Amino acid sequence: MTGVPLRLSQSPGQLIRIAQQVHTRLWTEHVGTELTAPQYAALVALAVEPGADQRTVGERASLDKATMAEMVGRLVRRGLVLRRRDPADGRRKLLTLSPAGNQLLQQVSPRVASVQRQLLEPLDETQRVALMSSLGRLARIDPLALETMQESRPILDAPRVVGYLIRVAQQVHTRLWTELVPGELTAPQFAVLDALAEEPGIDQRTVGERASLDKATMAELISRLVRRGLVLRRRDPADGRRNLLALSPAGTDLLAQVRAGVDGVQRQLLEPLDEETRESVVALLTVIARLTAQD
């Protein structure tokens, strides 16, 4: 991959985003909407470190300060978490699982493990270990911390960790994207422009499939790109129900302007891995990304 711009289908950032979509779909199917994956991560952190302060729990769950504060407030209102001021430091909030929170954690943990097993199902054991290791490094998680998470049975065993690693790796990708890609272009928007550069004039549904975006998200995103003058949209003369899309001159120019930044994001994302491991993790993520076809 060195020195060669990655096409969308080879992009580790795109593949991580799709893997996160697969994980979210499986989570909704098996766990439901009662508890989100980040909320589960916070409850697990409290099960492992009862009485930890809110900042520490946020770090363990890889949640920023604002997100953690809002989430803890919600969990407290639901009666799943108990919160009190630290008597030694009134600025700190100490958290513990309530009996109801502990009960919910025990109830959903087998379902969470089922989600992760299904996510890893296409891979053999050697591939699973390799993917876990690579994702941990992409997520910038210390190897010792990853090993500790994998061995914290039965609450946080290896089958439950992979979804967390995908989420944190995506957070790293998002941070790099914000730093390196100009033009106020999001990763999904780039995916659409890139798909149109490869296949100009294709219909909106096909572009959504190429960019791994659902119908509603795609419709809103295209409308925004059309308003910005980056995409041209017209009715298919052979089928009035279909919209055909193409890059505008401005869209073509912007795609060229951001290409170096996008390639830089992928290079920095993969920086912790050697060349052979980079090829391997892209191949493994591609296998998981194919689970989107099972919607």
Q: In 3-state terms, what secondary structure has residue 82?
A: strand
Higher pLDDT, 188 or 290: 188
Look up residue 212 and give its two tokens: 């791994």
- Mean pLDDT value of segment 276-292: 88
Neighbours of 86 (CB within 10 A): 13
Residues linked to residue 203 through DSSP beta bridges, in sequence order: 244
Name, in order, each residue with C-beta under 8 angstroms of 73's C-beta and a sequence gap of 6 or more. none
Whole-model pTM?
A: 0.84
| pLDDT bucket at 8, cuts 50 / 70 / 90 | low
Report residue 146's pLDDT band, with 50, 70 and 90 as the boundaries.
Answer: low
Model confidence at 96, pLDDT cuts 50, 70, 90, reads very high
Mean pLDDT calculated for residue range 159-183: 88
Q: What are the structural domains of the chain?
A: 31-108 (1.10.10.10), 182-268 (1.10.10.10)
Res 154 pLDDT > 80:
no
pLDDT tier at 289, thresholds 50, 70, 90 = confident
pLDDT band at 147, cuts 50/70/90?
low
Q: What is the mean pLDDT of residues 156-164?
A: 64
What are the start-end ranges of the E strands in the chain?
81-86, 89-97, 151-152, 156-157, 231-236, 239-247
State the burial class of residue 123 (Cβ atoms within 10 Å of its Cβ: 0-12, 13-18, 19+).
Answer: middle
Task: Check whether 293 has a pLDDT greater than 90.
Answer: no
Residue 48 is encoded by which pair of tokens?
Answer: 């492992």
Q: What is the mean pLDDT of residues 7-33?
A: 86
Given a cut of 80, is residue 4 above it in pLDDT? no
pLDDT at 143: 65
Contact between residue 116 and residue 159 where contact means Cβ atoms under 8 Å apart: yes
d(CA 248, CA 233): 9
Residue 6 has pLDDT above 90, yes or no: no
Which positions ≥6 away from 79 have C-beta within 8 Å? 98, 100, 101
Q: Looking at the predicted structure, is the pLDDT value of residue 179 above 90?
A: yes
Mean pLDDT of the region 233-259: 93
pLDDT single digits (tens) 25-75: 999 999 998 899 999 989 988 988 899 999 999 988 888 999 999 999 999
- DSSP assignment of 141-186 equals --HHHHHHHHEETTTEEHHHHHHHHHHHHHHHHHHHHHHH--SS--
